Structure 1
Amino acid sequence: MPPQVSNLGDKEAEPGKPDLLVAPDLPPVFPGFEPRSGFWALIRANKAVAFGVVVFVFMSLAALFAPLIVSADPFAISPLSRLKPISYEHPFGTDMLGRDLFARVFHGARVSLTVGLAVAFFSAVIGLAVGLISGYVRWLDGFIMRTMDGLMSIPGILLAIALMALSGGSIQNVILAITVVEIPRVARLIRGVVLSLREQTYVEAAIAAGSSSFTVIVRHILPNTLAPLTVQATYVCAAAMLLESILSFIGAGIPPSVPSWGNIMADGRSLWQLKPSMIFIPATALSITILAINLIGDGLRDNLDPRMARRF
């Protein structure tokens, strides 16, 4: 007697036993964002992501332990040591006020990374809340999105300059200004994900079962927004670091006395022909850090969204 095969699965029933219903493999709830492997497996498999992680960890440790790594004071002015070349005592030379560039570049990493990570966190939290409300509460969607569109219609650098002109130069105000610039982009992303999730069967079933809106959002929608939100946060971090450097370079950001990569490049602007390293060194540090963060974001996107995966 041939083995009996279930109509709902691929498993064979044992001879002499009744045909059992075997449930088929169901697709994931939100297949667009299903992790393919762990983060460490991603690092081992993707050299670009591994490079990004190594560079980002190095920069983070350098920024965190800058006072221990560098003995020189980044604020100390020494007129007798103006524009010293690269030497053992001053690995990157000195600026026009005799300040050690090596110390200022390492301490500048603290400012840039602090601004980038803080903006990524606050814009992700606020943008997530705005996107969830806009995507789920239909009658608020039009008002919220038109407000976000209005903010996005203004070039980010101009909006940040205007906010800095109103609030004054400080690290806190720079974080606030750049966060306002980045919130609409995060909110629109989350809104699009929520609108897609609302059409899923399990969400409609939860609503039909009488679950409250809060329960549906927290238990069924919010977990599926964390993957795209994490990827977007990496890009926001890189964009915030770049925007902070632009604001400091044009004198609209952090006070000039505070060592940041943008301020160091601004100091070397008038000495471009005499000492180009004052621009090249902080610009290289900024470029490599932003590249590393973007590589991490690309790797997370490929891992969390197999449809966007690329081969290196």
Structure 2
Amino acid sequence: MPQNLNRRTFIMASLATGFAVATHPVTAQTIKTSSTGLVAGEVKIPVADGTIPAYRAMPASGTSFPVVLVVQEIFGVHEYIQDICRRFAKLGYLAIAPELYARQGDVSKLTNIQEIISKVVSKVPDAQVLSDLDATVAWAAKSKGDVNRLGITGFCWGGRIVWLYAAHNPNLKAGVAWYGRLVGDSTPLQPQYPIDVAASLKAPVLGLYGGKDEGIPLSTVDKMRQALKTAKQPSEIIVYPNAGHGFHADYRPSYQKQAAVDGWKRLLAWFKQHGVGNG
């Protein structure tokens, strides 16, 4: 167990239902994927200092499914992230999204992003997140998952984590990061950003970014592209010029269907190309 992972009280014993309050109202274009033909729902993941809840979806029949870790947005493992797991499961994957804020708090009932960041997200150590993702992989290996075909994808807050995990786990085959921050100020809990680990990636990462993302300037995307030139893995960044932040989030006004659909196709092709599995 990492030295800075002390035993803590687990605030979230189970997953929230529905969409996070801060995301309301949910738009009419929201995609809803049926669980018919799937095993889908909450599971418990043993971690270094207890258990955390996670949402798991996989086909109802079969075994040895390729595994995709789905890393939450800033809003936690709410309905949108759960639906993404079901989308993967419909394609033959075991997709699992662990609640990575379980020790620090339940963001689903908080009303705005500033509150979410100050009360919960700013208190989540990267070391804890990476350890919990490792524990999730170990769980998947015992639960019909083929972790020799392991991929990861994440959105917003989770997009940054994808890059970090690709530098952390030598067994990862591929990652796809959706509009995760690339540069930032080092803190004791978040000591590194993707640009700091670009040269040490252990798996290829596809980055999907919006040209109109006010929180992730194109100048930082350019810096990351330059940093990736020193990487041993063939990573790539795609920028959708007319898309802003959260362009894949179909339940929010930020949704840009053309970019979201193209990004999803690129994700599946990237995973197939790098040995994660189904295309």
- Verify same fold: TM over 0.5: no
Which of the pair has more CA radius of gyration? 1
User: Given the two structures, how large is their TM-score scaled by the length of structure 1?
Assistant: 0.22
Q: TM-score, normalised by structure 2?
A: 0.24
As a proportion of its length, which structure holds more helix?
Answer: 1
Structure having the larger proportion of residues in strand: 2
RCO comparison, higher one (Cα < 8 Å, 6+): 1
